[in-house]
Amino acid sequence: MHSFGHRANAVATFAVTILAAMCFAASFSDNFHSPSPVASVKILNTNWFQKESHGNDEVSMTLNISADLSSLFTWNTKQVFVFVAAEYETPQNALNQVSLWDGIIPSKEHAKFLIHTTNKYRFIDQGSNLKGKDFNLTMHWHIMPKTGKMFADKIVMTGYRLPEQYR
């Protein structure tokens, strides 16, 4: 601490060390947050449902996705990535996940939404297992913090069923 430069260096190093500790504390404070998100997805229509030339089933549907994810946001949240996946079981795979729609929520103000859309990404099975298939629509989300670790969680919505016949 004997010279100007030495003192300036000491202030800078200690300040950055503490800044790291503050970021850690901010990240840690997220653990005390218990969100209560709600989501629901309605299938308004099955637009078409067919077997493609190479033998895989594909379905197109119109979805009504509504959710209130504003409780996921804390002061340390940068954005939330959210996607809706169709999840079902086939003889080959215990769990198939097909992403149908996704979105990035940049702020708490945008976290309550209602979206009317056809599936953004194609719903194609690996094979021909979709006729009359029971499936879940699951809303997954990843919370991206400003500092610290990412959190992920989901809401599973059950009781959806694909048509028995191609159309």
Partner 1 sequence: MDWQGQKRAEMLMQLLLVASAVAAFLVGYAMADFQLMLLVYAGGVVLTALVTVPNWPFFNRHPLKWLDAAEADRHPRPQVSAATTAGKKKIGKNK
Binding-site ranges for partner 1 (CB under 8 A): 1-2, 4, 7-8, 10-11, 14-15, 18-19, 21-22, 25-26, 29, 74-76, 146
**Nearest residue (CB) to partner 1, 4 versus 165:** 4
**Nearest residue (CB) to partner 1, 36 versus 53:** 36
**Nearest residue (CB) to partner 1, 76 versus 129:** 76
**Nearest residue (CB) to partner 1, 25 versus 104:** 25
Please check whether residue 161 is in contact with residue 136, taking contact to mean a CB–CB distance below 8 angstroms. Answer: no
| Composition of the chain by helix, strand, coil, percent to 5 | 20, 50, 30
**Nearest residue (CB) to partner 1, 21 versus 114:** 21
**Smallest gap, in angstroms, from Cβ of residue 124 to partner 1?**
41
Instruction: Spell out the residues 6+ positions from residue 150 whose beta carbon is closer than 8 angstroms to its own.
Output: 142, 143, 144
**Smallest gap, in angstroms, from Cβ of residue 25 to partner 1?**
6
Classify residue 35 as exposed, middle or buried by CB count within 10 Å of its CB (0-12, 13-18, 19+): middle
Classify residue 167 as exposed, middle or buried by CB count within 10 Å of its CB (0-12, 13-18, 19+): exposed
**Smallest gap, in angstroms, from Cβ of residue 146 to partner 1?**
5
CA angle in degrees (0–180, nearest 5) for 34-157-43: 130
**Smallest gap, in angstroms, from Cβ of residue 73 to partner 1?**
9
**Smallest gap, in angstroms, from Cβ of residue 142 to partner 1?**
19
* Joined tokens for residue 119: 């599936």
